[in-house]
Structure 1
Amino acid sequence: MGRIAIVSAMHEELAAVLALMPDEHKQMVAGRSFALGHLNGHEVVVVLSRIGKVAAATTATVLMERFGVAQVLFTGVAGGLASDARVGDVVVATEFLQHDMDASPLFPAYEVPLYGRARFGTDPALTAALALAAQSVLQQGVLDAARLQDFGITRPQMHQGLIVSGDRFVSNRRESQQLQQSLPDALAVEMEGAAVAQVCHDYGVPFAAMRTVSDRADDDAHADFLKFVTHVASRYSAAILARFFAARA
């Protein structure tokens, strides 16, 4: 199977995942701390991509070139765009697009120049396995009802589809509505996934990603953000990845 990379943008998103690694040891490359070890018996390297597409692309390239990873999994949080992508839901990406890529009139809006495409798909088999793990965790429940109710979460759902990425934090209703109108099939918005998807495409490395919806990408997007990441999203990430790796034993 080879070494599997687990990537998030923020430490708070990865803390619970790192706690699952009994033999973690660190290696510094390109100013990043790569944690090597095992998760449920699988060889992994866990790293923070940092925030934004350039930082994420740098991290992904180091994972390929220095650590020779065979697969990449991205986990973290995103803002919900689709009406049914509510806070506490999990979105498993089937494809990514850069919503701020626009080289028109030389190329169509959103198309990455010289690639002939705007969308980069995730690996179907890896994505299906991640979606199955997410669905199982949400159905069984890893958080108590009181904790979920703190954030207005009642019955979290799993969605699959398009996630869009851009180098700005979408945090007002006007921007959110504009994205919904121009990209009506987009489920969620974040700042790294499309860059990692493009690098994985370049290297031919299977890629899958899941994001917990932390907000509705509107004027309240900043409210209790770190609290949500710490107490909800990171625990979902750890539980889903543990289930994912257990199923591959």
Structure 2
Amino acid sequence: MSFSAVIFDFFGTLTPSTPSGIWDEHAARSAAPLGIPVEQWRRALDESFPERAVGAMGDLPRTIRTLARRCGVDPGDEALAAATAARLACQRELFVFRDDALETLERLRRDGLRIGVLSDCTIELAETLPTLPLAPLVDAVVLSCQEGRRKPDPELFRQVARELDTPTGDCLYVGDGGGDELSGATAQGMTAVMLRAGDWAINDAHAREDSWPGPFFSTLSHVVAAAGDPALITA
């Protein structure tokens, strides 16, 4: 029996992994207009991720202002606008897909499978995703910042399955393991596979399941055959 739907994580799965150095460089670009030391700003961003990932800090300008104040700076309108623009530009640089990502989605659609995206993310992705080239290729998108909950919250997996009109047991879930997503998907009856691509080790991920004992693929292209024949998925 083949799957009816495939659900993908976004960062580090559909997109390449992001090493720590890139986050440092991006932090420097948004810290500069605020006059905040890069290390302090990077720490504020990292520590606030749990809040930002569930949409608790509001839109991006409000988020930047709140974080700046936590760093002891009350930015003026011009500095806030510049920092917000820098942050958004940096995040959009991360919304670049793996070489085989879009082709994989297109092949899955041609094979009649429904496609979902489930991501722990902040407001920048929510604002930008409708303009990305994957938008017309997916049937359901569930983002933590819009739902007010993060992986491995069971409701996120159930929700994306509902939006795909597919029982969880008929879903294949593919992710790099961030946010305990593979265990979370498995607990809801999905078949979970880790994407362990060549850049997997450099990814600066949150609470990743590095010791995942289940099956893994080295490329997204492997998903196409496995979606049609679950027997190809072996630990």
Structure 1 length-normalised TM: 0.28
Q: Which has the higher helix share?
A: 2
Name which structure has the greater RCO, CA cutoff 8 Å, separation 6+.
Answer: 1
Structure 2 length-normalised TM: 0.29
Q: Which has the higher strand share?
A: 1
> Highest Rg: 1 or 2?
2
